[in-house]
Amino acid sequence: MKISIWHNPRCSKSREAVKVVEASKCESEVIKYLDETLSMDTMKETLKMLGFSSAREWMRTTEAIYKELDLKNVTDEDALLEAMIRNPKLIQRPVLIKGDKAIIGRPESAITDLLN
């Protein structure tokens, strides 16, 4: 089964995830999510697959843009997802998707569990 990896080449954890998947010989697709605009449907579907109840659980709340946009005071889920679409640096990475399951690819053992 094909693995999709939302990858940021500048992130060491993301590069590590790509290496683990490539070493496993699984068919994979690398999505450079900082360069591609993700759709609201994709974001909502992935949020469900991750098992998160709120988009905030998937956000990098320490990013400067999080504070600049005052996202801590936003309660509307669609607004949070829209902020992530417009500012993909807010997305926790790497995201690995296999079938109907998605994970944040940290630690490496989580990736191995998904692959097996």
> Which residues are part of the catalytic machinery?
11
Q: Taking Cα atoms as reference points, which of 100, 109, 115 lies closest to residue 13?
A: 109
Burial (CB count <10 Å: 0-12, 13-18, 19+), residue 33: buried
**If you search the block for the tokens 């939302």, which residue do you land on?**
6
Q: Extract the tokens encoding 110.
A: 């989580």
Helix (H, G, I), strand (E, B), or coil: what is residue 82? helix
Q: Extract the tokens encoding 95.
A: 């995201």
Q: How far apart are CA 49 and CA 36, in angstroms?
A: 20
